[in-house]
């Protein structure tokens, strides 16, 4: 018989099975059998993961916007691919925000850091001069 303590042990031994049993416990309304500590931890982790996914997609989008707008030497050969990535990342961000509309309020909070990361990553990846891209975003 599953108890709160055996559910905690299950979390350490088989995470997928822990998820399945937690769903069953919730569906059965047997809340006393829940591993509350790990359940809270996992829900909190899901929220961080959602925010991290948004940041990652935003950084990729900004990287390609920077290249398209400022890296003229490579634009002729690469513009199509950069545009494709821009379109795809914008679409994925829209889908993401439709699923989690409360993350829209996070966009303003994370944008400057994402811009800085995208700018620095692009400079490092392609060994470009830091003067190529503006320090402050012109995209907002």
Distance, in Å, from the CA atom of 107 to the CA atom of 54, rounded to the nearest integer, reads 8
Give the Cα separation of 121 and 99 in Å (integer). 28
pLDDT score for 1 = 60
Task: Tokens for 113, please give them.
Answer: 């850091």
In contact, 90 and 62? CB cutoff 8 Å? no
**Percent of the chain scoring above 90 in pLDDT:** 87
Per-residue pLDDT band for 76 (boundaries 50, 70, 90) equals very high
In this predicted structure, the answer to whether residue 86 has a pLDDT above a threshold of 70 is yes
Q: Where are the alpha helices (DSSP H) in 29-71?
A: 36-70
Cβ neighbour number for residue 115 with a 10 Å cutoff: 24
pTM: 0.82
Q: pLDDT value at position 9?
A: 85
Distance between CA atoms of residues 70 and 101, nearest Å: 32
Residue 14 predicted with pLDDT over 80: yes
**CA-CA-CA-CA dihedral for 15, 47, 52, 24, to nearest 10:** 30
Mean pLDDT of the chain: 93
């Amino acid at each position: 018989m599953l108890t709160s303590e055996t559910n905690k042990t299950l979390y350490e031994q088989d995470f997928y099975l822990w998820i399945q049993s937690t769903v069953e416990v919730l569906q059965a309304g047997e809340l006393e059998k829940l591993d509350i500590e790990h359940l809270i931890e996992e829900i909190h982790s899901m929220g961080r993961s959602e925010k991290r996914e948004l940041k990652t997609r935003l950084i990729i989008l900004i990287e390609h916007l920077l290249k398209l707008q400022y890296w003229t030497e490579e634009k002729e050969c690469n513009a199509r691919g950069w545009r494709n990535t821009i379109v795809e990342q914008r679409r994925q961000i829209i889908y993401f925000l439709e699923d989690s509309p409360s993350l829209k309020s996070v966009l303003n909070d994370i944008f400057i850091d994402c811009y800085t990361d995208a700018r620095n990553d692009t400079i490092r990846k392609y060994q470009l001069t830091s003067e190529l891209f503006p320090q402050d975003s012109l995209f907002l």
